[in-house]
Amino acid sequence: MKRKTILLILLLFSSVSLINAQHPGGTKLLPLPTPAQRMWQETERAMFVHFDPAAWQGTEYDNHSTPLDRINPSKLDVNQWIDVAESWGARMIVFVAKHAGGFCWWQTETTDYSIKNTSYRNGKGDVLADLAAACRSRGMKLGIYIYPGDESWGAYLGGGGRTRDPAKQEAYNQVLRRQWTEVLTRVPDVTEIWFDGSVVVPLKDIIRSHAPDAIVFQGPFADIRWVGNEGGYAPYPLWYTLRCSDAATGTSTAAHGDPGGDCWMPVEVDVPLKNHNWFWSPENHRNLRSLDELMTIYYKSAGRGAQLLLNASPDTSGLIPDEDVALYKAFGNEISRRFGHSLAETSGKGDTLCLVPGREILIDHLVIREDLSFGQRVRRYVAEGRNGDAWFVIASGLSVGQHRIQQFLPVKVREIRLRVTESALPAVISKLAVFYVGDSNMHDVADPARDDMGNLWIRGQRNAAALDTVLSAQAVNGASSRQFTTDLSAVISLPGQYRITAEHISTGDKIPITEASLILKGIETPVLASLAEDGLSCTINITAFPLKDPGSIAFRAKTGSGFSGAIQLHIQEIRID
SS (H, E, C) 41-72: HHHCEEEEECCCCHHHHCCCCCCCCCCHHHCC
CA angle 499, 502, 504 (to 5 degrees): 155
Positive or negative CA dihedral for 452, 456, 461, 467?
positive
Mean pLDDT of 441-468: 37
**pLDDT of res. 488:** 86
**Residue burial 539-552, b: 16+ Cβ < 10 Å; e: rest:** bbbbbbbbbeeeeb
pLDDT level of residue 410 (50, 70, 90 thresholds): very high
- pLDDT higher than threshold 80 for residue 468: no
3-class DSSP assignment, residue 261:
coil
pLDDT higher than 50, residue 561: yes
Q: Which long-range contacts (CB under 8 A, 24 or more apart) does 524-531 make?
A: 524/556, 525/158, 525/159, 525/160, 525/162, 527/160, 527/198, 527/200, 527/249, 527/250, 527/251, 528/158, 528/197, 528/198, 528/251, 529/555, 530/249, 530/251
The three-point CA angle 62-63-67 to 5° equals: 90
Nearest to 544 by CA among 201, 183, 158, 176: 158
pLDDT at res. 17: 34
Please state whether beta strands 267-271 and 307-312 pair in parallel, antiparallel, or not at all (unpaired): parallel
Output the CA torsion 511→515→519→523 (10° steps): -160
Round to whole Å and give the CA distance between 480 and 482.
7
Sign of CA dihedral 458, 462, 464, 470: positive
What local confidence, expressed as pLDDT, does residue 557 receive?
87
User: What tens digit of pLDDT does each residue of 13-49 get?
Assistant: 333 333 334 444 444 589 999 999 999 999 999 999 9
Q: What pLDDT shows up at residue 451?
A: 31
Tens-digit pLDDT profile for residues 369-399: 999 999 999 999 999 999 998 999 999 999 9
C-alpha–C-alpha distance, residues 288 and 65, integer Å: 26
Strand partners, 47: 93, 310
Pairwise CA distance, residues 237 & 454, whole Å: 10
Give the per-residue pLDDT at 531. Answer: 87
In this structure, of 4-13, 255-264, 349-358, the range with the lowest mean pLDDT score is 4-13
Averaged pLDDT for residues 93-100:
98
* Predicted local distance difference test score (pLDDT) of residue 342: 98
* pLDDT class of 447 with cuts at 50, 70, 90: very low
Identify the pLDDT of residue 576: 60
pLDDT digits (tens, 9 = 90+) for 471-495: 555 555 544 567 888 888 888 878 8
Domains and CATH numbers, the chain: 36-339 (3.20.20.80), 344-450 (2.60.120.260), 464-575 (2.60.120)
CB 54 within 8 A of CB 294: no
Model confidence over 214-272: pLDDT tens digits? 999 999 999 999 999 999 999 999 999 999 999 999 999 999 999 999 999 999 999 99
Residue bearing the bigger pLDDT, 478 or 352: 352
Q: Which of 399, 444, 438, 553 is nearest to 491 (CA)?
A: 553
Does residue 430 surpass a pLDDT of 70? yes
